[in-house]
Homo-oligomer: A and B are copies of this chain.
């Protein structure tokens, strides 16, 4: 009796419910009513289907980890199972994942991280004093002196201070305020958070977001998720993928017919296109944003990856300040950085920051509120970010090793950028712009009309067809240009330059051989 009473209290009528319970009661009528419908119920449809799911999520595409990468995974499994292929390994040149390609972590960064993770090591003589000093400082700023506590939603205070100091140094003294720094879960998190706050309106007043074409597909994916309007501006392939302000004007004018363009996204150095913007071009972009009342988002995660001796990285923040107070106190700008790229390549830690200036104070509150829902970015990633912005300096014990490691990575990348450009341009039907920065080649490839027809027969974009063939015949995994966007009728692929030099040479030779064979086959 007591059990039945308890069940009634919980609102659960006792009955004879077959598989879902064992209790017996007088409410048999109700139970048998339930039993009668069961055969129909047991064949019930899923609640969550392609038809019923969020259509904005369904519309999302993300080529960098899309079908080509799934195929690469299948081929790897086949190789493991001993199935014979014309190659022995899959080379994942689809994603900028340096350490997966064999790049070694920066010793100092990992030493500080290990000390933070397991503070007993602070007593160990095998760790340098400067690493211990960094670790102690980070831990002192963490709740309970532990990486295991939540941080403030905006990030650990002293790390935000270090980021601000880094930006000030980088920009030759242009001040940065720790209060404008937000640590993030990689740059992607910051970019999608800012876009999330910006998107509003319906119909013709829906927010338009201007993005470069080719773009990094995070942008199109988030725009799709948010049901915002993607406004394409095309980079000028004939001029080393330069950003042409006339093209921005064309894009914004056309967009005004069907949406409210409110955001301009810039990727500098470019991904996938590798161009580095000139100072003058940045000025013109900022002026354009000012004129058109656009919120500027500057994706500057490749700021350390500039290889061409004729190019230099200028931050949007620095140029904005140098343009005078009318700009520097008016233009809303969010700039993004990450631990994943540069010379450290710590992708797995998901560290990043954004600096957001000229934000309306009320919006600052809204941003912190939104960030607080996810509690905080990974504190280990925040610590990694700290080392990126606060590395050993001359005179410190670890400086020499750090400097050697950093220069070696960046020197190698510069060498590989040149090598890739040169080798691609030796292949008939491939044209590759200079890789001024970032980590990718985005060569244009000629695809003969017979191959275009073959692709159509397979219901594939022609460059997807090309990349699938390349993967199947050589094991090299690259991403079709259609995943990034390209001018109608042109075809490209994105390939990272991260494999070690000798391997990269082999990869490039294989692409060359494949391409020549491909042209012959579909001539």
Interface residues of A, Cβ cutoff 8 Å to B? 7, 9-12, 17-21, 23, 34, 38, 41-42, 44, 46-50, 52-55, 57-58, 60-62, 64-66, 95, 97-103, 105, 110-111, 113-114, 117-118, 121, 124, 126, 142-144, 146-151, 153, 185-186, 188-189, 192, 196-200, 217-218, 221-222, 225, 236, 239, 242-248, 262, 278, 280-281, 283-284, 286-287, 290-291, 293-295, 323-327, 330, 332, 344-350, 358-360, 362-363, 366, 369-370, 372-381
Contact = CB atoms under 8 A, between A and B. Distances in A.
Nearest to A198: B48
A242 B358 contact: no
Given A12-B245, A54-B196, A349-B378, A359 B48 contact: yes
Given A10-B244, A65-B153, A280-B10, A377 B349 contact: no
B283 A21 contact: yes
Contacts of A110: 117-118
B290 A41 contact: yes
B12 A281 contact: yes
A17 to B, nearest CB: 7
A149 B287 contact: no
A357 to B, nearest CB: 11
Contacts of A34: 291
Given A65-B369, A378-B378, 16 more contacts: A44-B293, A44-B330, A46-B332, A46-B358, A52-B200, A53-B363, A55-B200, A60-B369, A64-B372, A65-B375, A100-B146, A103-B144, A148-B349, A149-B347, A222-B373, A350-B379
7 contacts: A12-B245, A46-B363, A62-B372, A65-B369, A98-B148, A148-B348, A186-B374
A326 B247 CA distance: 59
Contacts of A48: 197-198, 295, 332, 359-360, 363
A378 B380 contact: yes
B150 A348 contact: yes
Contacts of A149: 97, 99-100, 347-348
A379 B349 CA distance: 6
Contact of A20 (B126, B221, B324, B347): B324
Contacts of A151: 348
A67 to B, nearest CB: 10
Contacts of A102: 144
A294 B347 CA distance: 37
B105 A47 contact: no
**For A113, A225, A327, which residue has the most chain B Cβ atoms within 10 angstroms?**
A113
Nearest to A326: B42
Contacts of A148: 98-99, 105, 344-349
A342 to B, nearest CB: 12
A62 B326 contact: no
A38 B329 CA distance: 13
A380 B10 contact: no
A198 B57 CA distance: 9
A196 B286 CA distance: 35
Contacts of A23: 280
B360 A49 contact: yes
B49 A146 contact: no
A225 B242 contact: no
**For A41, A57, A121, A283, which residue has the most chain B Cβ atoms within 10 angstroms?**
A57
Contacts of A245: 10-12
A66 to B, nearest CB: 8
Contacts of A348: 142, 146-151, 376, 378-380
Contacts of A58: 366
